[in-house]
């Protein structure tokens, strides 16, 4: 057992002294994260108030249109927001989740019906919490406009008129704090059922907890990809050792083969763990990337992938007979894992036929895990993906050890 650690330490040292390995495992990912992240996104995410929002009016009756008009008819609101009218609530939700829209208001199908029946109704305000300021303003604006429109409706009912009051003047955003009860005073004791509270605005957090900047995205993606490169240098180390006969010499010492193979795999793991630490700290300090609150979750995912790299090292050493062969197979395989795993472009944007292959890519599991943790997921949420990565690693390790040739 002690010899296993001796071999691991020696291998880690040998890999660390290989300038090419250090370049590929550390300099390349940090460089790529910087280039891709800043070219495609910019490090600082500006939170302009000139935000794009959408309204989806699903109301079967006419009240919804009244609300829409209240919001679109105001010049003040128009100065702050570019309002789109949509009709597909799901598409709008997705756009908010992606951050393509800052916020949205979704008016339910049964709005008119419920108001008529005197039942409470909830309007859905979606907001991208990554742009809290403008989304918050939108929620306030929506609330104020709805209050104003609602009061008209209530008046209409109280007075027994049709709900066709045109041109409701919406309250300016600054007045969003005006309590609806102010209008309710008119209703008073005569019709207590019909307070303005029947229409409430519920802010709904988009399912994505935090909007991710491009540099954060590529930090996850490139880390997920480059952690696997340790496997290539581990395989190189094994094949070089076999070619230069030091492996034969190790096998003449009183050490079990388990210690030799285990030591080799552990060496790759140690190198990968160090690499992960450097990439994690490097992206945090250089690019101010926020990997999320649950450090344990991120570390678990990273170490699971480093384990997969150790397994892949054994498989590469077994399958590629020479360093030249591994130098070809290794990067090709890692690129495939990375491409299907979303290291380069978000995996949701990949062609459909590629998607079933994603489950075999350790990069896919770990990159998605990293991104989830950045958006608020915890260790409990990513333990499954981490186990999947470790499982792929175990298969590669067992296969590699089974097929490995020592001479």
DSSP for 274-321, written as a single string: HHHHHHHHHHHHHH-----S-HHHHHHHHHHHHHHHHHHHHHHHHH-S
3 binds other proteins (CB under 8 A): yes
What is the smallest separation between the CB atom of 130 and other proteins, expressed in angstroms?
A: 47
Choose, by CB under 8 A, the member of 35, 49, 169, 251 that binds other proteins: 251
**Total residues in contact with other proteins, by rule CB under 8 A:** 19
SS3 202: strand
Query: In the chain, what's the furthest Cα-to-Cα distance?
Result: 101
354 is an interface residue for other proteins by CB under 8 A = no
3-class SS shares of the chain: helix, strand, coil, % to 5 = 65, 10, 25
Contacts with other proteins, 253-272, as mask; x by CB under 8 A:
xxx-----------------
- For the chain, the C-alpha Rg in angstroms (whole number) is 29
- 292 Rama sector, left if φ>0, alpha if ψ -120 to 50, beta otherwise: left
- Using rule CB under 8 A, residue 4 touches other proteins: no
The one segment of 3-11, 81-89, 308-316, 357-365 that binds other proteins by CB under 8 A = 3-11
> Reduced to 3 states, what is the DSSP secondary structure of residue 251?
helix
Q: Running DSSP on this structure, what letter comes out for residue 348?
A: G
Choice from 207, 245, 284, 322 touching other proteins (CB under 8 A): 245
Q: Which is nearer to other proteins, 12 or 225 (CB)?
A: 12
Whichever of 146 and 313 has its CB closer to other proteins, that residue is: 313
Q: Among residue numbers 9 through 68, which ones bind other proteins (CB under 8 A)?
A: 10, 13-14, 17-18
DSSP letter at 43 equals S
249 binds other proteins per the rule CB under 8 A:
yes
Nearest-approach distance from CB 127 to other proteins, in angstroms = 56
Phi, psi (degrees; rounded to nearest 5) at 205: -70, 130
Q: Which two tokens stand for residue 256?
A: 């079990």
Piece of 77-85, 152-160, 238-246, 304-312 that binds other proteins (CB under 8 A)? 238-246
Output the smallest distance, CB 252 to other proteins, in A: 4
Structure tokens at 77: 């609101």
> Where on the chain is the footprint of other proteins (CB under 8 A)?
2-3, 6, 10, 13-14, 17-18, 244-246, 248-255
């Amino acid at each position: 057992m002690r010899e296993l650690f001796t071999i691991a330490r020696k291998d880690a040292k040998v890999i660390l002294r290989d300038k090419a390995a250090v370049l590929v495992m550390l300099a390349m990912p940090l460089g790529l994260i910087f280039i891709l992240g800043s070219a495609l996104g910019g490090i600082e995410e500006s939170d302009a108030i000139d935000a794009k929002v959408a309204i989806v009016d699903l109301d079967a009756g006419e009240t919804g249109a009244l609300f829409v008009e209240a919001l679109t008819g105001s010049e003040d609101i128009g100065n702050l927001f570019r309002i789109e009218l949509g009709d597909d609530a799901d598409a709008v939700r997705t756009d908010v989740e992606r951050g393509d829209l800052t916020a949205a208001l979704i008016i339910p199908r049964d709005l008119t019906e419920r108001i008529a029946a005197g039942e409470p109704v909830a309007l859905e305000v979606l907001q991208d919490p990554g742009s809290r300021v403008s989304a918050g303003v939108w929620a306030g604006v929506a609330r104020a406009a709805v209050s104003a429109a609602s009061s008209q409706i209530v008046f209409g009912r109280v007075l027994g008129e049709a709900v066709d009051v045109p041109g409701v003047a919406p309250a300016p955003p600054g007045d969003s704090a005006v309590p609806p009860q102010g209008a309710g005073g008119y209703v008073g004791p005569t019709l207590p059922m019909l307070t303005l509270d029947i229409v409430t605005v519920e802010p709904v957090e988009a399912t994505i907890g935090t909007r991710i900047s491009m540099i954060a995205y590529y930090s996850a993606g490139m880390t997920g990809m480059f952690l696997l490169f340790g496997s290539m240098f581990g395989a190189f180390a094994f094949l070089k050792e076999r070619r230069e006969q030091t492996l034969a010499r190790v096998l003449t010492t009183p050490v079990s083969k388990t210690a030799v193979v285990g030591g080799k795999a552990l060496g790759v793991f140690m190198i990968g763990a160090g690499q992960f630490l450097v990439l994690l700290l490097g992206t945090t300090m250089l690019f101010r990337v926020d990997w999320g609150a649950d450090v344990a979750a991120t570390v678990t995912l990273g170490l699971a992938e480093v384990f997969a790299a150790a397994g892949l090292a054994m498989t590469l050493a077994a399958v590629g007979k020479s360093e030249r062969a591994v130098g070809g197979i290794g990067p090709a395989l890692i690129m495939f894992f990375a491409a299907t795993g979303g290291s380069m472009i978000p995996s949701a944007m990949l062609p459909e036929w590629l998607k079933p292959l994603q489950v075999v890519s350790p990069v896919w599991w770990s990159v998605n895990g990293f991104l989830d943790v950045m958006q608020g997921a915890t260790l409990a949420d990513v333990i499954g993906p981490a186990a999947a990565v470790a499982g792929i690693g175990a298969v590669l390790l067992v296969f590699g050890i089974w097929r490995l040739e020592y001479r």
